[in-house]
Structure 1
Amino acid sequence: MVYQRKLIGARYFNKGYASVVGPLNSSFNTPLDNDGHGTHTLSTAGGNFVSGASVFGFGKGTARGGSPKARVAAYKVCWPPVGGNECFDADIVAAFDMAIHDGVDVLSVSLGGEPTFFFNDSVAIGSFHAVKHGIVVICSAGNSGPDAGTVSNFAPWQITVGASTMDREFDSYVILANKVQLKGQSLSSTALPSNKFYPLISAADAKAANVSAEEALLCKNGTLDPRKVKGKILVCLRGQNARVDKGLQAQFAGALGMILANNEINGNEITADAHVLPATQVNFTNGVLIFTYINRTKSPKACITGVTTLLGTKPAPFMAAFSSKGPSTITPEILKPDITAPGVNVIAAYTEAQGPTNQIFDKRRVKFNAVSGTSMSCPHVSGIAGLLKTLHPTWSPAAIKSAIMTTATILDNKKEPVMNASYFKATPFSYGAGHVRPNSAMDPGLVYDLSVNDYLNFICALGYNETLVSIFSDNPYNCPKPPINRTDLNYPSITVPKLSHSITVTRKLKNVGSPGTYRADVQEPSGISVIVKPRSLKFKEVGEEKTFYVTLKVKEDKAAKDYVFGNLIWSDEKHYVRSPIVVRTA
């Protein structure tokens, strides 16, 4: 949570947790981070400059957070799991209240749960009250991808962040005895002797008695026979149990090294973990080649090369398979996530109360660790929001969100459309408006602004009664009659989940740059005609607002059954204010 005024501090909230688990001992009465998650995310958002940062010497360089000069405050609300829960609603809401009281400018919230209605969602309620006080709230999209409809933290007043890769890899190759070289990635602190080949075995062939080959292949606790594993390189399949736990089980069984092969769902998404033994992770295609080699070779052998840091890799970014995807199951009229940012193999500060794998047997300690998740992408955007808040202190949270979204890119460093982990073209349901571009967000030209009453009217349009609306408004609020059309919320994207024939949606743009005339350019979704009126908007001064209308109509002979995607771009030849258009026919 980024804090930009006079104090630096940390607080803890555990009364909700204690109400479930019972009385807590004094070790719980501290905001100290015993897990690493909070340290990592906070330093990503607001960490200062630290030279010589690395993970076991890899990725070495100067570390800094997104807002490196920010003052920060930490609010600890998550504790050891009980009943599958770590972060309790009462503690989350209490932390939001205290952060508002403390006067923070930006809140970075790397937590979330299953999609639920707003009045049952403590993060949605807390973040609404924060936004009402002018605080920008950034949240994680969740790590339940790649299935559709898994995105969480989908309230329109939040900035919801997906996770994508960056152009840095930690290469560690598998070399088979038949001289085939297959690229993997790792951050193992130890390495096997170079150019020395060892017997290679699939975990399915190393199963313990009374264990299925499918279970053993996942290298779960108790599934491996040490007599078959000892002195060999073990090949495990990704899935179900933690990646680093697979390495631990391989080590316990006597393996000299481990190759972790992606399953098909994870495709090309590789997480470089600080394994406890020499290990590397390979993508799905290379994993298939390794298993095929084992099955067709009488005495398969391989070696694993040491780790090297590689910069400028292509293609980058592409979407992480784990990153939760839209559409929102509760408010499909709002495109979520809003934006994507780096969330794979992110190096940031780490607690020394845990080893880099967070496994109890890992006695190593690191000052920096590489971690992956939308928890890691969220604070990237939080840091950017902090910089924008400093640069434009009068901008509303909605204006800051708009600047971040409308200046994003949907192209990778090969100038090709951003892909998913299987190297198929990704969609706005993965990346929202695109991959964040901090420098462009400083000067967006125009923004889509929103007030607290706009959000309350949207809540009213969801059918909430006055009692439920008052949870957000604090005071009685008269909902407009008739209710607004939910597609008319002045959002930086346009989403129509059920288009039967045609619809006209309303949007308003505010000038935050120099005077100029902006003209509309439309990239139509397949099978949908898009008409913008007026086609040009002339702004004479800062703060001036102009309304326009977008009519979307189904081309009856070309209507698609699934969601289709396009873009609306307003440009004065200097600024390009791009909004995704997302449509599904009824």
Structure 2
Amino acid sequence: MRLFLGVSSHHVWTWLLVLLMGSNNAMSTPEEHQTYIIHMDNSHKPASFSTHESWHRSTLASLSPYHSLSDKEMLLYSYNHVMHGFSARLTPSQLSELEKLPAHRATYRESFGKLFTTHTTKFLGLKRNSGIWPTASFGKDVIIGIIDTGVWPESASFSDRGMSPVPERWKGECENGTAFSPSLCNKKLIGARSFSKGLQAAGIKISEDLDYDSARDFYGHGTHTASTAAGNYVLGAGHFGYATGTARGIAPGAHVAMYKVLWATDSETSAATDVLAGMDQAITDGVDIMSLSLGFDQTPYFDDIIAIASLSAIEKGIFVVCAAGNDGPGWNSTYNGAPWIMTVGAGTVDRNFVATMTLGNGLTIEGTSYFPQGIYITNALLYYGKGNTSKEICDFSALDPREVAGKVVLCDNSTSIDVHTQMYEVERAGAKAGIFLIDKPTLDPEDYSIPSLVLQTGSSDSVREYAMTVKNATVKEMRFLLTKLGTKPAPQVAYFSSRGPDPVSPGVLKPDILAPGEDVLAAVAPNRPYMETGIYDLVTDYALYSGTSMAAPHAAGVAALLRAVHRDWSPGAIRSAIMTTAITIDSTYMTFIDQWTGLPATPLDFGAGHINPNKAMDPGLIYDIDLQDYIQFLCGLGYNDRQMSAVLRRREWDCKEGPTNLNYPSFVAIFTKATNSPTVKNFTRVVTNVGGDTAVYQAVLEVPTGMRIRIEPNTLTFTGKDQKQWFDLSVEIDTEAPDVIYGYLRWVDQHNHIVSSPVVAIKT
């Protein structure tokens, strides 16, 4: 499993966890125990057992005693909602015996591995006196469950100042544990639990030096995501002087419940059984929104524990949001792509953190910097290699301290030398500061261990020319701690954000949506140094993080606001409202740019567009989806009965005749390049009027050359609220059309509703 904090797979934070499916697949000897998740058929439970857990314990006790463990030692968790079943330590012989029972439905082997946020509310158009914030009472009475690394309860973001009482329907609690007392919870943080039985069953200890055996957050990731979704107002928050202002979550009036399922250990591992247990408990406790900034490796849905558990949550009306992953910019890299999950990609915001540099010739240049100390560097010599002819001067051990001490070192050609290595080398050699010319953005705020300025290679020619041609070149001044707003274009698709087509179901557009995910300021755990600068270890309680981990809680917060306004909306209705009202052009009125390539992006990168909370409150029409729609979708995948049963958690279902395409708010037509293959794809959709009592919608098509979209009928007339209307859409492409081509269907009415859906064609 992966926790989607940080950047792409090209630069992964070494202290994060990532669960990798199937990493412990060696066959056990009969004497050894391994942990398994056992999916049971609930209809086989004898009436004599009052609870599922008592039945599960009895089942384990009935197995042949090839072991020294009691049923209490064998059983880790009994699951009631995400599936009917349990996780237990079993020998292969016991597993074989159990799998022969009529009640057995499926087995999942335990998986291990490593872990894979002030301005964003304004960027999203949220205002205190108008729009969705006041209408939703800022998310009042909505409960957001965060499945993550825990929480730092003392953070000002979790103050219950101004909060409404805990909802009476809430069934959760705050558990006692290491450095965590139930008294730390309040009307904001209403629940905190931890789950580690699966980890400990594997013989992996929770190190006191690396984590807390409780719901307390060690890494800060869970604190960051929770405060992003629903943090209270905090004045004067900032990242070492950058991004200063009032921090608040997207739904500051909502309640938070933390479910700690991810741990730091000597082996830096976490167990899938624990993740499943956290999701199961969240459903039991009564959360309204579930947010997961993590994911398992891409597998079919019948093997995907998060997909199975999320479908159970959706059945109970819980909206599930997941991060899309940080494996961009490559294609087919999305995680958590089940169509019942809202899959969120990461976008940039219109804010940069910069330093300015004035050279000896008077030229002033601006570059990126997060260096935390508000200092000036003045009248320093500029060093650019011996004789000013060497380009790759900052490789490991390449700098002579006698030559560079007290100077500003210019490091060039970072496309061939890792920029982290260069920064370390400049620091090692005793330079006063560094200027790094890089081709792609690959540094995080904590990487700036010395006064540094980063320039994209495309805008650095003047610096290079000055350094090469002027003897005794100097830097007259370097100035840090500048936050620049209004940067254009924004948003862009963050370079690390995972892209479609989805590797499991390419016919469903993923990610669904884009939300702020780069340089997001939110609360963190101040229990350890955030970064080192020289001899100083720096600690902070608010920090800038990047990743789809940060994007997902933005969407979770928006979902909480929508739930507060529309209590009767289904999870499908909430997702539709978010997708069909999304922004599809950037601040320069152009198509979103891919941050990695600098070229226009496509819906395979940004889904339906960038999230737009105020518009989502009144979408006009919705594409609703119920459980039977998902069943029809699964029927169309060709799963056998056992696989269908694993996903649906039941013995019987109805695969009705007719189309199996989902009533999704986006369209994906997949064509093969083979000769004589079909060149037309047909879709059927139904929309529900949630706007005024009467409305007439006209279809407006945006179609590129090489693609044809037909709609029937092209006018939808509604005479009442909640009335439904059907329409058919067909997509046709020319043989010479590019491999990815897309347009838009927009339903427009007289009340200024614009219901937008991307229509994407992919040639494979």
1:210 corresponds to: none
1:566 corresponds to: 743
1:183-236 CA-partner distances (Å, limit 9, x unpaired): 212221225534433333479x999xxxxx97x85x67x676545543233445
- Letter in structure 1 aligned against 2:651: P
Q: CA–CA distance in 1 between the matches of 2:499 and 2:737?
A: 20
2:643 corresponds to: 468
Alignment of 1:381-460 (within 5 A): 381-421=555-595, 422-460=597-635
Partner residue of 2:303 out of 116, 120, 145: 120
Cα shift at 1:298: 5.0
1:62-111 CA-partner distances (Å, limit 9, x unpaired): 1110110111011122223777x744321211111111111111111111
Q: CA–CA distance in 2 between the matches of 1:378 and 1:544?
A: 32
Matched, 1:367 2:541: yes
Q: CA–CA distance in 2 between the matches of 1:507 and 1:283?
A: 46
Q: CA–CA distance in 2 between the matches of 1:249 and 1:455?
A: 55
Work out whether residues 272 and 281 of structure 1, in 8 Å CA contact, stay in contact via their aligned partners in 2.
no
2:291 corresponds to: 108
Partner residue of 1:331 out of 476, 480, 505: 505
- Letter in structure 2 aligned against 1:2: I
1:140 corresponds to: 323
Work out whether residues 519 and 537 of structure 1, in 8 Å CA contact, stay in contact via their aligned partners in 2.
yes
Distance of aligned partners of 1:227 and 1:546 in 2 relative to their CA distance in 1, 3 Å threshold: farther
1:115-154 CA-partner distances (Å, limit 9, x unpaired): 3322332322222222122111111111121122222221
Partner residue of 1:501 out of 672, 676, 679: 679
1:461-517 CA-partner distances (Å, limit 9, x unpaired): 2222221222221111335266844xx211110001226321211111011111201
2:427 corresponds to: 251
Cα shift at 1:308: 1.4
Work out whether residues 185 and 282 of structure 1, in 8 Å CA contact, stay in contact via their aligned partners in 2.
yes
Work out whether residues 340 and 432 of structure 1, in 8 Å CA contact, stay in contact via their aligned partners in 2.
yes
Work out whether residues 134 and 397 of structure 1, in 8 Å CA contact, stay in contact via their aligned partners in 2.
yes
- Letter in structure 2 aligned against 1:125: I
Alignment of 1:2-81 (within 5 A): 2-3=144-145, 5=167, 6=170, 8-20=190-202, 22-24=204-206, 28-80=212-264
Work out whether residues 182 and 286 of structure 1, in 8 Å CA contact, stay in contact via their aligned partners in 2.
no
Distance of aligned partners of 1:15 and 1:407 in 2 relative to their CA distance in 1, 3 Å threshold: same
Cα shift at 1:584: 2.3
Cα shift at 1:114: 3.6
Cα shift at 1:169: 1.9
Q: CA–CA distance in 2 between the matches of 1:91 and 1:202?
A: 53
Q: Give the structure-2-normalised TM-score.
A: 0.69
1:238-259 CA-partner distances (Å, limit 9, x unpaired): 6899977864554343232233
Q: Give the structure-1-normalised TM-score.
A: 0.89
Work out whether residues 206 and 264 of structure 2, in 8 Å CA contact, stay in contact via their aligned partners in 1.
no
- Letter in structure 2 aligned against 1:146: P
Work out whether residues 206 and 263 of structure 2, in 8 Å CA contact, stay in contact via their aligned partners in 1.
no
Between structure 1 and structure 2, the one with the greater Rg is 2
- Letter in structure 2 aligned against 1:385: A
Q: CA–CA distance in 1 between the matches of 2:409 and 2:201?
A: 45
- Letter in structure 1 aligned against 2:224: H
More moved, 107-116 vs 388-397: 107-116
Q: CA–CA distance in 1 between the matches of 2:416 and 2:556?
A: 31
Distance of aligned partners of 1:563 and 1:255 in 2 relative to their CA distance in 1, 3 Å threshold: same
Alignment of 1:299-318 (within 5 A): 299-302=472-475, 303-318=477-492
Q: CA–CA distance in 1 between the matches of 2:226 and 2:680?
A: 46
Alignment of 1:195-206 (within 5 A): 195-201=378-384
Partner residue of 1:516 out of 695, 702, 712: 695
Distance of aligned partners of 1:15 and 1:416 in 2 relative to their CA distance in 1, 3 Å threshold: same
Partner residue of 2:407 out of 217, 221, 232: 232
Q: CA–CA distance in 2 between the matches of 1:554 and 1:526?
A: 9
Cα shift at 1:571: 1.0
Work out whether residues 202 and 294 of structure 1, in 8 Å CA contact, stay in contact via their aligned partners in 2.
no
Partner residue of 2:725 out of 546, 558, 565: 546
Distance of aligned partners of 1:196 and 1:119 in 2 relative to their CA distance in 1, 3 Å threshold: farther
2:454 corresponds to: 281
2:360 corresponds to: 177
Q: CA–CA distance in 1 between the matches of 2:235 and 2:728?
A: 51
Q: CA–CA distance in 1 between the matches of 2:727 and 2:691?
A: 19
Distance of aligned partners of 1:345 and 1:25 in 2 relative to their CA distance in 1, 3 Å threshold: closer
Matched residue SS, 1:199: strand
More moved, 371-380 vs 188-197: 188-197
Matched residue SS, 2:590: coil
- Letter in structure 1 aligned against 2:707: I
Q: Alpha carbon RMSD of aligned pairs, Å? A: 3.1
Matched, 1:581 2:759: yes
Matched residue SS, 1:578: strand
Q: CA–CA distance in 2 between the matches of 1:198 and 1:24?
A: 50
Q: CA–CA distance in 2 between the matches of 1:315 and 1:183?
A: 17
Work out whether residues 173 and 183 of structure 1, in 8 Å CA contact, stay in contact via their aligned partners in 2.
yes
Work out whether residues 164 and 342 of structure 1, in 8 Å CA contact, stay in contact via their aligned partners in 2.
yes
Distance of aligned partners of 1:455 and 1:160 in 2 relative to their CA distance in 1, 3 Å threshold: same
Alignment of 1:472-487 (within 5 A): 472-478=647-653, 480=655, 484-485=659-660
Q: CA–CA distance in 1 between the matches of 2:631 and 2:389?
A: 59
Q: CA–CA distance in 1 between the matches of 2:283 and 2:461?
A: 52
Cα shift at 1:378: 1.2
Alignment of 1:89-108 (within 5 A): 89-108=272-291
Cα shift at 1:340: 0.7
Matched, 1:129 2:312: yes
Q: CA–CA distance in 2 between the matches of 1:358 and 1:192?
A: 16
